[in-house]
């Protein structure tokens, strides 16, 4: 048993993903700790946030300090001191964002650290993740920027399926779940076909990749819906790299269980808060004497203790704690939103939550309608993280 269903609301699901380590509740949002740490935060912070799963990146960790070094220090859990669940991305997205060459055997790329040539194969990605000791590993896939010609989408999708079969054959750790990845761009028929073929391979779970990389939001949701239909109902479904509130809640309504994104921490480090009224630019001069919390509707530690005026001051004087505090708030806010979605699924009221979120987050024009935030385009997660290969979240 990999997925235990607790309740549904239409296609939306609330349940539990079961691993050798234990289990975690879904829907869930996973903070991104590319190099084994969420930027500016500690393991104790993750405990305080109630995070159940953290995403670590194979690309970064296989290069620095090396998968064998991490293994020698007790795997990711011993290495980081965090006992919760880890999911490791294969590093395919990071590799594809660099100058590289792809063939049937894998991908050749230059390290963003020292410029050395590196080779990553489907088997090598599995081997590295088994050494890292994550609870959930992802297969190596081919992720294209969109829009892309249909023939390129077909080639990437077929190669991803071939690599998926090789990844299954290469696995050696029965205590580590292995997820396949559905590609297919915005081609609805290809998404459906590749999901059907991948689902027949018998993975422990399924990622939907290659979305939120330049296509329109409506295309994202159409492609996602097509990919979800053929996937086995008894396995978790993970929408990779998407974390804007509107799309996240809509995706839960379609049946997605897991999410990750660099958005909350990246925005936080640069002075932007996620709030019930939209994005809030904390560094704005109008908040210089504002004694109110970042979000009056939020009960996180930051909102209970610190004012907008104080946080603005910290950013303006270059105090590192500014980005840390706003990152904590943003993660707490987004994790709470996903928990509210879980509660809504169990109560049969997800449509009401979706309507509430859409009022503020459905379009750039409506961002910041409340609490003094200015309209400002949010952007899609992977567009914001185009330099992710060169720097962590």
For 343, the domain range is: 266-383
**257 and 276 share one domain:** no
Provide the pLDDT for residue 366.
37
235 belongs to a structural domain: yes
Domain co-membership, 375 together with 340: yes
Contact 138, 181 (CB under 8 A): yes
β-bridge mates for residue 100, sequence order: 109
Q: Round to whole Å and give the CA distance between 313 and 307.
A: 10
Q: Is residue 299 part of a domain?
A: yes
Does residue 389 lie within any of the structural domains? Answer: no
Percent of the chain with pLDDT over 70: 92
Query: Is residue 390 in a domain?
Result: no
- Tell me the per-residue pLDDT of 247-262, one tens digit each, with 9 for 90 and over: 999 999 999 999 999 9
Q: How many domains does the chain have?
A: 2
Whether residues 95 and 233 fall in one domain: yes
The reported pLDDT for the residue numbered 368 is 38
Q: Which domain CATH number covers 50? A: 3.20.20.105
Q: Are residues 25 and 96 in the same domain?
A: yes
9 classed as catalytic: no
| Assessment of whether the complete model's pTM goes beyond 0.75 | yes
DSSP state of 4: E
The region of weakest confidence among 8-12, 34-38, 381-385 is 381-385
pLDDT recorded at residue 370:
35
The pLDDT, as a whole number, for residue 363 is 64
Pairing of strands 100-103, 106-110: antiparallel
Q: What is the 3-state secondary structure (H, E, C) of 103-130?
A: ECCEEEEECCCCCCEEEECHHHHHHHHH
What mean pLDDT is predicted for residues 330-348?
98
In contact, 54 and 61? CB cutoff 8 Å: no
Give a yes or no: residue 391 inside a domain: no
CB 253, CB 312: distance < 8 Å: no
- Better-scored residue on pLDDT, 393 or 15: 15
Sign of CA dihedral 303, 308, 313, 316: positive
Q: Which of 45, 141, 257, 260 is catalytic?
A: 260
pLDDT at 385 > cutoff 70? no
Average pLDDT, the chain: 92
Tell whether the model's pLDDT for residue 214 goes beyond 90.
no
Residues 274-293: what's their mean pLDDT? 97
CA–CA distance from 391 to each of 60, 126, 388 (Å)? 9, 23, 5
Q: What is the pLDDT at residue 99? A: 84
Handedness of CA 164, 139, 266, 257 (dihedral sign): positive
- 3-class secondary-structure state, position 273: strand
Tell me, yes or no, whether 353 and 321 share the same domain.
yes
- Same-domain status, 248 and 309: no
Same domain, 199 and 221: yes
More confident residue, 368 or 201: 201
What's the pLDDT tens digit per position in 118-134?
999 999 999 999 999 99
Residues 293 and 333: their CA atoms lie apart, in Å, by 13
pLDDT for the residue numbered 392: 47
The residue out of 231, 263, 295 marking a domain boundary is 263
Please check whether residues 286 and 229 belong to one and the same domain. Answer: no
Q: Are 245 and 274 found together in one domain? A: no
| Cα(251)–Cα(245) distance, integer angstroms | 10
Domain annotation covers residue 291: yes
Residue 45: active-site member: no
* Cα 45-80-72 angle, rounded to 5 deg: 175
* 96, part of any domain: yes
- Mean pLDDT value across residues 282-287: 98
| Confidence check: pLDDT of 57 > 60 | yes
Q: What is the pLDDT of residue 145?
A: 85
Q: Looking at the structure, tell me whether residues 227 and 275 fall in a common domain.
A: no
Same structural domain, 244 and 281: no
Q: Is the pLDDT of residue 393 over 60?
A: no
| Per annotation, catalytic residue among 89, 141, 204, 295 | 89
More confident residue, 282 or 98: 282
Give the closest residue to 241 by CA, choosing from 41, 85, 97, 50: 97
User: Could you count the other beta carbons within 10 Å of the beta carbon of residue 149?
Assistant: 10
Identify the pLDDT of residue 381.
35
Using one digit for the tens of pLDDT, what is the confidence trace for 151-186? 999 999 999 999 999 999 999 999 999 999 999 999
Quick check: is 388 in a domain?
no
Q: What is the Rg, in whole angstroms, of the alpha carbon atoms belonging to the chain? A: 20
Please say which residue of 226, 242, 263 terminates a domain.
Answer: 263
- Residues 252, 281: one domain? no
Supply the pLDDT for residue 95: 85
Q: Pick from 263, 281, 316: which residue ends a domain?
A: 263
């Amino acid at each position: 048993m990999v997925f235990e269903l607790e309740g549904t609301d239409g296609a939306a699901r609330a349940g539990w993903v079961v691993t050798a380590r234990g289990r975690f509740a879904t829907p869930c949002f996973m903070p991104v700790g590319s190099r084994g740490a969420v930027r500016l935060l500690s393991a104790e912070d993750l405990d305080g946030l109630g995070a159940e799963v953290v995403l670590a990146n194979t690309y970064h960790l296989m290069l620095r300090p090396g998968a064998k070094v991490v293994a020698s220090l007790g795997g990711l859990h011993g290495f980081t001191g965090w006992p919760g669940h880890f999911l490791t991305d294969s590093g395919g997205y990071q590799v594809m964002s660099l100058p590289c060459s792809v063939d049937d055997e894998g991908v050749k790329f230059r390290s963003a650290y020292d410029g050395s040539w590196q080779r990553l194969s489907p088997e090598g990605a599995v081997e590295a993740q088994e050494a890292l000791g994550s609870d959930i590993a992802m297969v190596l896939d081919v992720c294209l920027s969109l829009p892309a010609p249909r023939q390129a989408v077909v080639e990437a999708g077929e190669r991803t399926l071939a690599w998926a079969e090789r990844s299954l054959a290469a696995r050696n750790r029965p205590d580590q779940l292995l997820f396949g990845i559905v590609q297919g761009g915005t081609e609805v028929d290809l998404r459906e076909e590749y999901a059907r073929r991948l689902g027949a391979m018998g993975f422990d779970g399924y990622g939907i990749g290659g979305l939120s990389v330049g296509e329109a939001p409506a295309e994202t949701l159409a492609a996602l819906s097509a990919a979800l239909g053929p996937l086995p109902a008894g396995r978790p479904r993970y929408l990779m790299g998407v974390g804007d509130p509107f799309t996240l809640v809509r995706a839960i309504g379609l049946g997605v269980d897991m999410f990750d994104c660099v958005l909350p921490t990246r925005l936080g480090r640069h002075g932007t808060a996620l709030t019930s009224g939209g994005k809030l630019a904390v560094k704005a001069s109008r908040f210089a004497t504002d004694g109110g919390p970042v979000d009056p509707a939020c009960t996180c530690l930051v909102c209970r203790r610190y004012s907008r005026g104080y946080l603005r001051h910290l950013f303006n004087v270059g105090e590192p704690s500014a980005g840390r505090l706003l990152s904590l708030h943003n993660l707490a806010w987004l994790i709470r939103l996903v928990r509210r979605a879980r509660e809504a699924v169990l109560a049969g009221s997800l449509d009401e939550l979706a309507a509430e979120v859409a009022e503020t987050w459905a379009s750039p024009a409506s961002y910041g309608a409340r609490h003094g935030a200015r309209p400002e385009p949010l952007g899609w997660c992977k567009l914001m993280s185009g330099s992710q290969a060169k720097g962590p979240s």
